[in-house]
Amino acid sequence: MVGLCNLRHLSLALVSAALLAFQIVLLQSLATSQWHHFASFVISIALLGFGAAGTILTLTRNWMVARQGPLLPLLLCASAVALAGVMRLTQGLLGGFDSLLLFVVPGEMLRLAAVAFLLMLPFFFGALAIGLIFTVETERIGSYYFANMFGSGLGSILGLVGLSLLLPQSLPPFCALLALAAGAVLMPGTGRSVRSVMLCGLILVAASLFLPAQLHLSQYKDLSRTLDLPEATIVAHRPAAAGQVHIVASPVLRSAAGVSLNWSGPMPRTKAVFINGDMVGSLPPLPAINNPRDASTFALPYAVRTPHSVLVLNAGTGVDVAQALGQNVGTVVAVEPHRPLTETLRRNAPESFGRLLTDIRVTWQETASRTWLARDRQSYDLIILPGIGGFGGNAGLFALREQPLLTREAMRRIWEKLTPQGMLTITAWVDYPVRNPVRLLASLVETLVDEGVAKPTDHIAAVRSWGTITVCLKRTPYTSGELDNIRAFATRWAFDPALLPDLRPEERQVYNRLQDESLFVLFDAIINDEREALYRDYAFRVWPVSDDQPFFSQFLRWGRLTTMAELYGKHTTPFLELGMLVAGLAALVLTILAVLLIILPLVRLPREGRHGWETLFYFGGLGIGYMWTELALIHRFIFYLGQPVYAAALVVGVLLAGSATGSALTGRFTELRPWRWAAVVAGTLVLYALLLTSLLQATLPLPLPGRVTLAVLILLPAAVVMGMPFPLGLRLLNRVRSAEVPWAWGINGCLSVVGAAVATLIAVEVGYSLLLILAAGAYLVSVAVRFRGEE
């Protein structure tokens, strides 16, 4: 019996590792084939599988418990086969779904639901096995919960390692092997039929190893569109946990973003560079070639004065570094956190990118830009931020992408780092309806106001081409000589000044006419101190963003959807804010699936007494509270650790390990009062909400190992107590109404699905601090519940 227990622990750890590794693989697969707004979608899908499994357990508990011996390996085998096959099914048989078509193609919602259902299957079968073990081992739930959490933590590490070595679509078969091994360790003592099924499973998994699925990229991904060009080929490809890198060559690819209509020089051919299928730039031109970027609005700061020291944040492919060197600056510090990107470019583009790394004027820093800003003590004559938006109307697509360099806090830090004559420059693609340039200007003006600058307009200059607008914020007011330089630069390249301290209205549209005057009306409102009215009345959110809500590209105001529909057409409106609306639709689909698969069957279930609501509120509160906490903490630590993937791995890993420890500790508790621990969790979360941001900002300059250590120390106490209310509640429920144990497990899963699906949408509206407070509120709901008969 002891041996069986140990094997079950091992099996539980293996299948948990398989499912979590698959979850991480799925995150990157969907980020590559679709967009990053499917991150919470993946978490919800996993939880949906767990919730649906809880329901099935509830309905078939006695039958399953009686057949647990053969059932457990069979369920794990089914999970393994699903792990090996669902990627192929969703990418192949269904032709993939395309989130951009959700609003225009009939049936695309059904396809999304079908994809969600299929992707749920490995989690469903795996969770059935996990739940069955939990059900029959309730009194030793602590140690099994520990094995579950330990395996999950291991799985997150394996997933990250796998993504660093292999393509995401190649990894599901390896996850399947883990799940199959979980089933194999439980095979002793089972019959011949079970062994035959396991053998079939092994054959299918082995076949999938040699025939991995192909990722079906959305036709609207930058990479898909680029590969459609004549003779386009992928010349370099590197898997990476932080996002896989592609370099594409085609004879028709040229680099000249926003170049002047007066430019008569050559447009150098280039190669395009992508991370997870999204274009991040092109290779910098060779030094011998005239750089068309010098004839774009990006060159505005060099027209004002030649800086000596330049800081390039999120340097990417190095085009801004190359331009700075071409302008004969003294030194350049380039900060780029994506190490695999830098490494791939160094190897594959030694003449264009590689020279930047070897130039003695350039220092290349592989760290997150916010970390560098916090740590670095130098001042700069010019600080260059990465461009905002893109050509081709994709502004709304990145609504849920966090941009910590564009928050008020970041702007203030950048302002502090400017020399007396120093400038901050940033370029936005002009969008319509106008959003990006308006929020950018509002952020800069509010920064100046915060810094006590009496007349912000004396410090801001902007010029506009047909497609881009570049803004330069100067530490000291522009001199008349500098303004003459700007006007001469604009005239030479047929640009129009958009903002100057002494700008005349007739100067604004000499060369490049816009469809209407809205850009200028909005700009005037910002510089004329009518910002509050603008923030209140404009159809879009254009006020500056903060570290607590760092969604610079999120402009949607749910309450103004009707106004937007009247202004731009009801069918066009979705294209303006696709990111948010797609995430909203995905959340809706998952909520419907969760209700159908988890809640609905349970409503008709006979209960012991009429106290099902107690289980609903207690375990539902825990589910929502846990997921909101997890997602809020992941996002807070993205800012701290610099890379989403590090933050996700660290937070999930610490929460799982801590919760596992907490649950293991509960095995020794003789007094079962779970609400006390739920109250402790709620109190801890309130403390986090109040103190975490300041603590993280104060310690941001620490080196990465120091930040990781501190992060673990910060997270661990909450993680340990967060692991206690669930197993304690289960044990208590088992004593008073044992038939509701699987139901409790299911309802926890269902509300975790909904919680994860809506967490980011809530954070966009209220910020991460308030999301933590809401999570504490969810735990307080559990605090308020008492199970009848528990005394």
> Under the rule (CB under 8 A), what is the footprint of another protein?
100-101, 104-107, 110, 218-221, 224-225, 228-230, 251-252, 254, 256-259, 261, 263-265, 267, 292, 391-393, 395, 429-434, 466-467, 515, 569-572, 575
Looking at beta carbons only, is 463 or 650 nearer to another protein?
463
Spell out the residues 6+ positions from residue 502 whose beta carbon is closer than 8 angstroms to its own. 483
Give the shortest CB-130-to-another protein separation in angstroms. 27
Angular region, 496: left φ>0, alpha ψ -120 to 50, beta rest: beta
Q: Check the CA dihedral 360-361-367-371 and report its sign.
A: positive
Looking at beta carbons only, is 575 or 626 nearer to another protein?
575
Alpha-carbon distance of 108 to 266, in angstroms, equals 44
Give the shortest CB-466-to-another protein separation in angstroms. 6
Looking at beta carbons only, is 338 or 464 nearer to another protein?
464
Give the shortest CB-317-to-another protein separation in angstroms. 14
Looking at beta carbons only, is 447 or 465 nearer to another protein?
465
Beta strands 245-254; 233-238: pairing state: antiparallel
Give the shortest CB-432-to-another protein separation in angstroms. 3
Give the shortest CB-91-to-another protein separation in angstroms. 17
Give the shortest CB-325-to-another protein separation in angstroms. 22
Alpha-carbon distance of 117 to 590, in angstroms, equals 9
Q: Listing from the earlier edge strand, what are the strands of the sheet with 269-275?
A: 233-238, 245-254, 269-275, 278-282
Looking at beta carbons only, is 262 or 306 nearer to another protein?
262
Classify 238 as helix, strand or coil: strand
Looking at beta carbons only, is 40 or 427 nearer to another protein?
427
Looking at beta carbons only, is 261 or 690 nearer to another protein?
261
Spell out the residues 6+ positions from residue 298 whose beta carbon is closer than 8 angstroms to its own. 257, 258, 320, 323, 425, 427, 468, 470
Looking at beta carbons only, is 392 or 609 nearer to another protein?
392
Looking at beta carbons only, is 437 or 674 nearer to another protein?
437
Amino acid making up residue 169: Q
Residue length of the chain: 791
Beta strands 331-335; 309-313: pairing state: parallel
Looking at beta carbons only, is 258 or 653 nearer to another protein?
258
Give the shortest CB-131-to-another protein separation in angstroms. 24
Give the shortest CB-495-to-another protein separation in angstroms. 13
CB 697 within 8 A of CB 727: no
**Residue 249 phi, psi (nearest 5):** -115, 145
Amino acid making up residue 380: Y
Amino acid making up residue 488: A
Give the shortest CB-744-to-another protein separation in angstroms. 28
Give the shortest CB-464-to-another protein separation in angstroms. 11
Give the shortest CB-290-to-another protein separation in angstroms. 12
Give the shortest CB-329-to-another protein separation in angstroms. 24
Alpha-carbon distance of 776 to 689, in angstroms, equals 9
Give the shortest CB-261-to-another protein separation in angstroms. 6
The residue assigned the tokens 């002047």 is 260
Count Cα neighbours of 394 within 13 Å in the Cβ-side half-sphere.
16
Amino acid making up residue 739: A
Looking at beta carbons only, is 73 or 387 nearer to another protein?
387
Alpha-carbon distance of 174 to 169, in angstroms, equals 11
Classify 272 as helix, strand or coil: strand
Which of 157, 305, 124 is closest to 241 using CA atoms?
157
Alpha-carbon distance of 469 to 428, in angstroms, equals 5
Give the shortest CB-643-to-another protein separation in angstroms. 28
Give the shortest CB-610-to-another protein separation in angstroms. 30
The residue assigned the tokens 């053969």 is 70
Looking at beta carbons only, is 65 or 267 nearer to another protein?
267
Classify 444 as helix, strand or coil: helix
Looking at beta carbons only, is 107 or 706 nearer to another protein?
107
Count Cα neighbours of 461 within 13 Å in the Cβ-side half-sphere.
30
Beta strands 309-313; 380-384: pairing state: parallel
Which of 583, 589, 585 is closest to 116 using CA atoms?
589
Give the shortest CB-659-to-another protein separation in angstroms. 39
Looking at beta carbons only, is 147 or 388 nearer to another protein?
388
Looking at beta carbons only, is 414 or 430 nearer to another protein?
430
Give the shortest CB-468-to-another protein separation in angstroms. 9
Spell out the residues 6+ positions from residue 528 whose beta carbon is closer than 8 angstroms to its own. none
Integer-rounded Cα Rg, in Å, for the chain is 28
Alpha-carbon distance of 308 to 306, in angstroms, equals 7
Amino acid making up residue 190: T
Looking at beta carbons only, is 129 or 256 nearer to another protein?
256
Give the shortest CB-314-to-another protein separation in angstroms. 18
Return the C-alpha torsion angle 135, 139, 142, 143, nearest 10.
Answer: -90
Looking at beta carbons only, is 279 or 656 nearer to another protein?
279
Alpha-carbon distance of 496 to 506, in angstroms, equals 10
CB 768 within 8 A of CB 643: no
Spell out the residues 6+ positions from residue 598 whose beta carbon is closer than 8 angstroms to its own. 48, 51, 52, 54, 55, 746, 747, 749, 750, 753
Q: Check the CA dihedral 714-717-720-726 and report its sign.
A: negative
DSSP structural state of residue 546: B
Looking at beta carbons only, is 379 or 509 nearer to another protein?
509
Spell out the residues 6+ positions from residue 566 whose beta carbon is closer than 8 angstroms to its own. none
Cα distances (angstroms) measured from residue 192 to each of 70, 166, 195, 197, 200: 10, 36, 5, 9, 12
